[in-house]
A = this chain, B = another copy of it.
Amino acid sequence: MSALTLVPETKVLAIASHVTYGYVGNTMATFVLQLLGCEVSAINTVHYSNHTAYKQIKGTKTSAEQIAELFEGLKQSHLDDFDVLLSGYIPSAEGVATVGKIGRELRLRSMMNPGSFFWVMDPVMGDEGRLYIPEDEVPVYRSLLREADLILPNQFEVELLSESTINSISDLTQAVEKLHREYQIPHIIITSLRLKDGDLSTLTSARTTPSHTPPPSTVSSTMTIVGSTAKSDHTPRLFRIDIPAIPCFFSGTGDMFAALTVARLREAVAHAEPAITNTARWQSPDEVPATELPLAKSTEKVLASMQAVLAKTYETMEVEMAAWDQGINREQGIREEGKADKERHLAKMKASEVRLIRNQEDLRNPPHLEKFKARAVEMEEIEAMKLGV
């Protein structure tokens, strides 16, 4: 069945960055959502020529006032009947506060119709220990957590939000529980986890296919995505999906994940048994096990699509860079060393732009879905896994 038949009509307000070239932020999310049948109203928080990993950009930021003004424009013409808010990169604390106001307003208005508004917050703050927003933005994000229905932090962002350090799955579980309990966030997905090998292999040994265990003492070739929908007592229902890690950094994959998740979660919720479309915050009854959660079902499709597109991106990138390197070898004599490094970096960034458009069929029909089955993370298993044990 096509995505259009599966995904119900959905109006998404998407607040994130815009780049002229390439695919990050709203430039990524808009197409992904539209292809899967969602109406997208984009408020762009920056207008840049390209993403920042190129290490040089031109363009402008949108001020908090300009964000507020665009939303005012929608309101005055009754164009603000959104089902979902998807918020991503926002370059200032004032901007985050403004988006917070928008989110609260949409939430308030939906109070009479449970389930009619859902906020997917991608708290874009940094990665791998490095913050790439002003420091005063972090507490503003924390103050908005209660408003979000689903957050999509990476490992570093979970640490920032839960004010804890994560070295093990056990730490992670505690952080997720804290976010469920303290901030009442019903749904959480940690989008990329690379824990210490010890812990990863402990968990991996519980897999039904232990032959996939990565060789010890090498850089892990597996990436783990962990998700949870809280039970009514705020305890987590954790599931995990392990995917082969592609040995390359692609920009915009977080935005791709977020956009696919909006569409696929909406689909999974619409087809859930028992029905939860009109349940506040799309929270499944307690008896639904982790692996049967709409959140788990949607993540399976999301990852199947992403893996297919990114594998193809990686393949094309390698071909292009091989060609580039051959060219550069010919010209090596006439190039300064420093310049060549910079030029190669630019070429690599360009070659690594996600091949979204020509592989759109993989978004529509996630291939090899059976390889991305969610597995439950058992609490006993976690208890046994104290760090270093």
A residues apposed to B, CB below 8 Å: 4, 9, 18, 20-22, 27, 30-31, 34-35, 37-39, 41-44, 47-50, 54, 56-60, 62, 66, 69-74, 76-79, 346-347, 349-350, 357-358, 360-361
> What CA separation (Å) do A358 and B39 show in the bound complex?
8
> What CA separation (Å) do A360 and B361 show in the bound complex?
13
Q: Choose among B9, B44, B57, B357 the residue that contacts A37 (Cβ–Cβ < 8 A).
A: B357
Query: Could you list 11 examples of A-B contacts with CB < 8 Å?
Result: A20-B42, A27-B42, A37-B358, A49-B69, A49-B79, A50-B79, A54-B77, A56-B77, A58-B70, A59-B69, A78-B346
Question: Are the C-beta atoms of B59 and A76 separated by less than 8 Å?
Answer: no
> What CA separation (Å) do A74 and B59 show in the bound complex?
10
Q: How far is the CB of A113 from chain B (nearest CB, A)?
A: 18
Question: Are the C-beta atoms of A77 and B349 separated by less than 8 Å?
Answer: yes
| Residue picked from A38, A54, A56, A77, most chain B C-beta under 10 Å | A77
Q: How far is the CB of A301 from chain B (nearest CB, A)?
A: 19
Q: How far is the CB of A262 from chain B (nearest CB, A)?
A: 14
Question: Are the C-beta atoms of B20 and A48 separated by less than 8 Å?
Answer: no
Question: Are the C-beta atoms of A50 and B77 separated by less than 8 Å?
Answer: yes
Given A18-B44, A34-B31, A73-B50, are A78 and B357 neighbors across the interface (CB < 8 Å)? no
Give 17 new A-B contacts, CB below 8 A, not counting A20-B73, A58-B72, A58-B76. A20-B41, A20-B70, A21-B74, A21-B77, A31-B31, A39-B357, A44-B47, A47-B62, A47-B66, A48-B73, A49-B69, A49-B70, A49-B73, A50-B77, A54-B77, A58-B70, A60-B66
> What CA separation (Å) do A78 and B357 show in the bound complex?
20
Q: How far is the CB of A26 from chain B (nearest CB, A)?
A: 10
Q: How far is the CB of A389 from chain B (nearest CB, A)?
A: 48
> What CA separation (Å) do A62 and B69 show in the bound complex?
16
Q: Choose among B34, B70, B346, B358 the residue that contacts A357 (Cβ–Cβ < 8 A).
A: B34
- A44 / chain B contacts, CB cutoff of 8 Å: 18, 44, 47
- A76 / chain B contacts, CB cutoff of 8 Å: 56, 58
- A49 / chain B contacts, CB cutoff of 8 Å: 69-74, 77, 79
Nearest B residue (CB) for A27: B42
Question: Are the C-beta atoms of B9 and A21 separated by less than 8 Å?
Answer: no
> What CA separation (Å) do A76 and B54 show in the bound complex?
10
> What CA separation (Å) do A298 and B190 show in the bound complex?
46
> What CA separation (Å) do A109 and B18 show in the bound complex?
27
Question: Are the C-beta atoms of B73 and A57 separated by less than 8 Å?
Answer: yes
> What CA separation (Å) do A22 and B249 show in the bound complex?
34
Q: How far is the CB of A341 from chain B (nearest CB, A)?
A: 14
> What CA separation (Å) do A35 and B73 show in the bound complex?
28
- A71 / chain B contacts, CB cutoff of 8 Å: 49
- A9 / chain B contacts, CB cutoff of 8 Å: 358
Question: Are the C-beta atoms of A361 and B4 separated by less than 8 Å?
Answer: yes
User: Closest 5 interchain pairs by CB?
Assistant: A49-B73, A58-B73, A21-B79, A20-B41, A21-B41
> What CA separation (Å) do A157 and B350 show in the bound complex?
39
Question: Are the C-beta atoms of A357 and B31 separated by less than 8 Å?
Answer: no
> What CA separation (Å) do A76 and B57 show in the bound complex?
9
Nearest B residue (CB) for A76: B56
- A346 / chain B contacts, CB cutoff of 8 Å: 77-78
- A30 / chain B contacts, CB cutoff of 8 Å: 30-31
Nearest B residue (CB) for A346: B77
